[in-house]
Amino acid sequence: MFSTLSPHPHVASDNAAAMLWVDVEARAESIPLLGIGVRRDGMVSMAVRSARLDLGTPFVAVPKQVWEVVVLATRPAAEGSRLWVDCERRGVFPDLVFQDEGEEEIVVTPWQYVLELGEERCLLLVGEMEGGELREDAVLGWSAVRGRNVIIDAVEKRMGIRR
């Protein structure tokens, strides 16, 4: 589903190859996927159908099996509804990897999914996917695309995410 296409009018031609283009059906924010994984030295992954891009939230929501691996790797401390992690340990936290049907990946690094809110306060922006029968298996909040360009092209029914 991900493919590099000819330059989009809103992307300079030298940057077009750096975009992952996703063909989407009825909903421009839905991303078809094959799997979600947690990668550090090795990778633990599971099969999924799709993820929803939701720029109205900072949080990345993943299935329970992936969430449990993230918890083991980051060791968050709960404070109310928020989960805090040690800022100094970001360098050893794993990447979250969203895989498509081809060879392309959307990689969300700890520098994206951990938000520093002071010298020693870092908020974990990953959580467990909630709900029963949902259309998507995961949610990519704005932290997943932080530092990247995102183009939602409703006319061509595609979305571009800068790698």
Distance CA 108, CA 130 (A): 20
State mean pLDDT over 122-150.
Answer: 83
CA-based R_g, the chain, Å: 16
Does the global pTM surpass 0.85?
Answer: no
Q: Kindly report, residue by residue over 59-88, the tens digit of the pLDDT.
A: 999 999 999 999 999 999 999 989 999 999
Distance CA 108, CA 114 (A): 10
Domains and CATH numbers, the chain: 2-162 (2.40.70.10)
